[in-house]
Amino acid sequence: MVKVSMKVNGKPVSAELEPRTLLVTYIREHLRLTGTHVGCDTAQCGACTVLVNGKAVKSCSIVAMQAEGADVLTIEGVAKPDGTLHPMQAAFKENHGLQCGFCTPGMVMNALDFAKSNPNPSEQEVREALEGNLCRCTGYHNIVKSIVAGAKAMAATK
Amino acid sequence: MHAFQYHRPSSLKDATATGAKDEAKYLAGGQSLVQAMKLRLAAPTDLIDLSSLKELSGIKVSGSAVEIGAMTRHAEVAASAEVKKAIPALASLAGMIGDRQVRHMGTIGGSLANNDPAADYPAAVLGLGATITTNKRKIEGDKFFKGLYETALEPGELITSVSFPVPKRAAYMKFKNPASRFAIVGVFVADFGGSARVGVTGAGPSAFRQADMEKALAAKFAPDSVANVKVRADGLNTDLHASAEYRAHLVTVMARRAVEAALS
Amino acid sequence: MNAPLVGARIQRKEDYRFLTGAGTYTDDVALPGQTYAAFVRSPHAHARLRKVDIEKARKAPGVVGVFTGQNLADAKVGGLPCGWLITDVDGKPMKEPPYPALAQGKVRHVGERVAVVVAETLQQAREAAELVEVDYEVLPAATDVRAARKSEPLHDIAPDNTCYVWSIGDKAAVDAAFAKAAHVTKLEFVNNRLIPNAIEPRSVNAMYSRADDSYTVYVASQNPHVERLLMTAFVLGLPEHKVRVVAPDVGGGFGSKIFLYAEDVACTWASRQLNRPVKWTAERSESFVSDAHGRDHFTVAELAMDKDGKFLAMRVDTMANLGAYLSTFASCVPTILYATLLAGQYTTPLIYCRVASMFTNTTPVDAYRGAGRPEATYVVERLVETAAREMKIDPAEMRRRNFIRTFPYQTPVALQYDTGDYEATLQAAMKMADVAGFQKRKEEAAKRGKLRGLGYACYIEACGIAPSNVAGSLGARAGLFEVGEIRVHPTGSVTVFTGSHSHGQGHETTFAQVVADRLGLAVEQVDIVHGDTSKVLFGMGTYGSRSIAVGGTAIVKALDKIIAKGKKIAAHLLEASDADVEYDRGVFKVAGTDRQKTFGEVAFAAYVPHNYPLDKLEPGLNENAFYDPANFTFPAGSYVCEVEVDKDTGATRIASFVAVDDFGKVINPMIVEGQVHGGLTQGIGQALIESTRYDAQGQLMSGSFADYAIPRASDVPYFVVDTRETPCTHNPLGVKGCGEAGAIGAPAAVVNAITDALGVKDVPMPATAHTVWSALQKTSH
């Protein structure tokens, strides 16, 4: 067993884990933050995307120990404490950027990171930024629209 | 995933001491290794996380070379203003690897040590004639890739940095696998003024140089020089996604497009 | 009064929980005493099981139980049933081989379950599963449907691997029409096998309670009541009232979560043996080999025309690959849901179709988004486009000459279309696609070295399969009605219970719009409950784009009852006669006066019946309805796809895609558009990149997202979509359904565009870059 400590959604957490524990397993099974999803076993789908030190990472593709000391943000930590949606979340709602909701947390987390450095992205830039996120419901149309709108909204509220 | 012992050494010496164990593996970004372990295709007894070795990260540009630390993430190379200035093709290649999430974790050292036949960096190593520095020695890029997932690295040997000579101009073109987004064929061309290099990935069991094209480009660095160079299909990969013949054809197409891009 | 809610772009009520990580999918459910299951799966496509040795696994750390097919046989657990009996052309019933949840005697496809290991942790279960030793006697595998008849038999009862041969139509009349045709167009193609790949992998978490001898089964299912019915009545022999099935948030289905799966049965059964909850969630690589696949037809299709391009007859011969076993609705997909759609939008007077459905050593095939209708549309629309080109008639004009224009229209393949306006959708689509400007765009593309092509597809779909008695006479073993219940609370807010299930479709919003509109409430005052057999009376679930047409209508029928009762209560309160009370969106009014009571006042009176006609009327306001439709609904539409093919690489880019659909009345255009976008993308995936490949030994070569491509954001453009409305004539909402349309129409449109670009008669699906490049090598491009 190894000891791992990190901050998740602003809160310090630590645990004794088997070294092979994936970050996503730690988040879902140990912390019971089940908003982060697992959709594949080959790192294509991106449903497990979280931010590690502000950067979008697939939490199924690293062991929890690789996030030792890091600041991890999951979908549960994105809205304001009073429940108000973050502008990116709101953009997904307004643009019908989700259907079954399973890929959604990964989409939102990746979009949050992407929008930080792309305040006014083009459709094409958004599509390229979604190389690592699969959705089977929406045909991406409204996800792309959501992220374009969400990025602008984030820039406007800065 | 099978169980393993986890190590996070704070010095290169400690890392390589543990790395000498038979079934030990270095963990760089883990974007290939962790996947392989999950699918139980790899089962190291010891995993040596290199993330505390700050000396393995970073980009240094001198007049004639770009030196990239082994633990430098793809995203850092892609975004580096210095790399973009010195070898824009290299930054562009790094920006085409996997996807944004993978680029935030994946490292150049990890990619080269793994030597996936469809990985992008090997094309640049060959296309630019890079030198790979390990904890033990310097290895010429041309002698580094030995075959499918095989490299010149000895057991326990650890890549510390990679040095890319700065060419006059260069470009990388990639034809992506629709499923994995790895290269079905990727071609890196570089003009060194009087000599040229062409590194090809995805097409064969391991990345290789295309001598006929290099000769033609050395004479004249122009799209037409490679447009009619027919690549032989013998020895190239045939799989679900592409036949050897198609790959051979794509090498020529991607090479021509890379030269066009390098000149534009 | 508020603006109408029906027809409005209301944002979805369910989004908040999904956007904040508060959704509850099956794998998110953790039960006290939870254990985890791992399945031992066959690495061989066809083998006899000589021995399954579980001793080492049983003794492994954390293991609480290991079970094999023998255990299920000893316990008299039944096989998985098939829900539709197809009768062979010779009058005999189809062959129904046993489909045990864990293999008995033989394995018949890679990934078939041989044993299940249950342990305290998932890691322990997976590690112990590797310790199960299976001695296989490998047999030759049948993988190609065309060779199946002569391959090693999978099942004793089907020595030629044929499940049934079925036909529809008058063959002699069709043959006669072909004999005198001015032109015959013939195509031969494979409708490629697809792997559904909902992003949420299948999952089940089953718990047995000794306290009352009952089961609670959480499962990623599109139809929890059907799951319960099949599992209790046909497999486990349990009374239904002792089993609660909950399909909580479900991450996409596309058909693949309709079926009763072996894993659900094994975990439910094991939960009782172990008296512990047992959870299993598929790894994606397991999904690839164990979720029912879709399509996989080999078809020879011919269309006969007179000299003006008027269709005289169609003749279709299809071999359908069923995979190794009969999945829940596998038998009706390539027959009832396929051949009956071959008239398309056209007046083709004579149609004959023969279907031979074969067993092969591959994963079972069943309904996948569209289920038979995409295959039919592909046959019709590829034939029509090809015929037009061969006869040098403009493809749009060819369609116009043959459109059905008077309704109701009886097709020669059993269906009666109630309404439609095919010209309207085609005209709108052509305008939006700027077909007139295509030639110019083609020339411009040529200057860039690109081949530009344009393709149409005018599809018809049959949704809300019905009525039950007709379906029953055709072999259905289940009812096809739907159930709705309206529970009005004393303060006037409403909970609606529906037997339909939402796994992305947005029922919680759409259904609430329908109800709130009718009751004069805000959408927030209406909640929709679905997916739990302990809450919802009954239901057939969600498949075949039926939810609004059948489930929505059941709700409307229940609303009618609420309003009828409300009128009586209002009449009492207003001291008027029942007959004088009128109702409109939340207000009960005495006709011709301004005396009125609101819906809320009436609801309150029903639950606080102080001033109430107790002598004539029960208190309370709670009604339900079972609705069995009189006919199918017939959505239809016209799609125009433009592609650009890169001559050098063969890569196809979708340059534009226009879809104009007639879904009848649209409740929420935003949600409908989303359904179309998703369907189109799956259709484009089928046409361009989704390739299921088995090798000769029956190994699935495309068994992960690294080898099986599903569309990414960069593979598709922004879509241009619109709707036209010819309301359905036989349901009160005038709705038809929209869930599958995109997947039905898109493949033919894309392939028609590619063949146009290349100037070739056909390219196989998926038209990958490699495939198109290979086709280009035989052209002058």
| Sheet with C652-662, edge to edge strand ranges | C450-460, C636-646, C652-662, C720-724
pLDDT at C48 over 90: yes
Task: Identify which of C648, C693, C774 has the shortest CB distance to residue B240.
Answer: C693
- For C361, C404, C412, C420, C549, the CA distances from C416, given in Å and listed in that order, are 38, 12, 9, 12, 17
Q: Which residue has the tokens 């038809």?
A: C736
Strand-strand pairing, C113-119 and C35-41: antiparallel
Chain B interface includes C770 (CB < 8 A): yes
User: Which residue type sits at C498?
Assistant: T
Q: Report angle CA C120, C122, C128 to the nearest 5 degrees.
A: 80
Residue C559 phi/psi, 5-degree rounding, is -60, -40
- Chains touching chain C through at least 3 C-beta pairs below 8 angstroms are A, B
Query: In the prediction, which pLDDT does B188 show?
Result: 98
> Per-residue DSSP letters for C549-568?
IIIIHHHHHHHHHHHHHHHH
Contact across the interface for C705 and B175, Cβ inside 8 Å: no
Which residue in C has a C-alpha nearest to residue B252's C-alpha?
Answer: C648
Q: Which residues of C touch A92 (CB under 8 A)?
A: 15, 19
CB spacing of B100 vs A131 below 8 angstroms: yes
Q: Do C691 and B240 touch (CB under 8 A)?
A: yes
- pLDDT reading at C1 higher than 70: no
**pLDDT one-digit tens code per residue, C77-120:** 999 999 999 999 999 999 999 999 999 999 999 999 999 999 99
Instruction: Kindly report the nearest CA distance between residue B17 and chain C, in angstroms.
Output: 30
* Closest approach of C705 to chain B, Cα-based (Å): 6
**What pLDDT was estimated at residue C177?**
98
User: Does pTM surpass 0.90?
Assistant: yes
Q: List Cα–Cα distances, C127 to B40, C41, C274, C288, in angstroms.
A: 11, 13, 19, 21
Q: Which residue of A has its CA nearest to B34?
A: A61
Q: What is the mean pLDDT of residues B107-134?
A: 98
Strand order in the sheet with A2-8: A11-17, A2-8, A71-73, A49-52, A55-58
Q: What is the DSSP-derived secondary structure letter of residue C451?
A: E
Which of C85, C81, C86, C143 has its CA nearest to residue C109?
C143
A42 closest CB neighbour out of C24, C706, C712: C706
At C458, the amino acid letter reads C
Distance of CA C86 to the CA centre of its chain: 19
Residues 641-660 of C with CB under 8 A from A: none
Q: Which residues contact C552 (CB under 8 A, 6 or more apart)?
A: C500, C510, C511, C514, C667, C731, C733, C735
> Chain B closest CA to C648's CA: distance in Å?
7
Average pLDDT score over chain A: 97
Residue pLDDT, tens place only, A143-156: 999 999 999 999 99
C434 Ramachandran zone, left/alpha/beta (phi>0; psi -120 to 50): left
How far apart (Å, rounded) are the C-alpha atoms in residues C158 and C361? 13
- Do C180 and C256 touch, CB atoms closer than 8 A? no
Contact: C770, B242; criterion CB under 8 Å = yes
pLDDT band at A158 (very low <50, low <70, confident <90, very high): confident
Search chain A and give the residue with CA nearest C121.
A29
For residues C455-459, average pLDDT: 98
At C280 the pLDDT is 98
* Residue C606 and residue C620 in contact, taking contact as beta carbons nearer than 8 Å: yes
Instruction: Write phi, then psi, for C544 (nearest 5 degrees).
Output: 60, 35
Whole-Å CA distances, B85 to B61, B90, B170, C121: 10, 10, 12, 52
Q: Which of B111, B225, B240 shows the shortest CA–CA distance to B179? A: B240
**What integer pLDDT is reported at residue C430 of this predicted model?**
98
Give A57-90 pLDDT, tens digit per residue: 999 999 999 999 999 999 999 999 999 999 999 9
pLDDT above 60 (res C44):
yes
CB atoms within 10 A of CB C176: 13
Query: Is the bond into C93 cis (omega within 30 degrees of 0)?
Result: no
Mutate to test the interface with C, among B246, B249, B250 (most CBs of C within 10 A): B246
Taking CB atoms and an 8 Å limit, are C506 and A93 in contact across chains?
A: no
Asked if the Cβ–Cβ distance from C707 to B180 is below 8 Å, we say yes
d(CA C147, CA A44): 35
B180 in contact with C, Cβ within 8 Å? yes
Place of tokens 């063969």: C650
* pLDDT computed for residue C707 by the predictor: 96
CA B167 to chain centre: 17
| Whether the predicted pLDDT of C407 surpasses 90 | yes
Residues of chain B found within 8 Å of residue C695, distances taken between Cβ atoms: none
For residue C2, pLDDT over 90 is answered with no
Contact B15, A17 (CB under 8 A): no
> How many other CB atoms sit within 10 Å of the CB of residue C472?
14
If you average pLDDT over residues C452-475, what whole number do you get? Answer: 94
Kindly list the residues from chain C whose CB atom is less than 8 angstroms away from the CB atom of residue B175: 649, 651, 769
Q: Which residues of B223-239 are buried (b: 16+ CB within 10 A; e: fewer)?
A: bebbeebebebeebbee
Of C19, C254, C681, the CB nearest to A92: C19
To the nearest whole Å, the CA of A50 is away from the closest chain B CA by 9
pLDDT digits (tens, 9 = 90+) for C510-548: 999 999 999 999 999 999 999 999 999 999 999 988 999
How confident is the prediction for chain C on average, in pLDDT?
97
**pLDDT, tens digit, 9 for 90 and up, residues C606-664:** 999 999 999 999 999 999 999 999 999 999 999 999 999 999 999 999 999 999 999 99
- Window 112-131 of C, Cβ < 8 Å to A: 123
Looking at the complex, does the CB of residue C706 fall below 8 Å from at least one CB of chain B? yes
CB-CB under 8 Å, C673 with A131: no
* Dihedral of alpha carbons A58, A64, A70, A76, sign: positive
Taking the C-alpha atoms of residue C533 and residue C229, their distance in angstroms, rounded to an integer, is: 10
Partners of A42 on chain B (C-beta within 8 Å) are: 35, 39
CB-based contact C712 A96, cutoff 8 Å: no
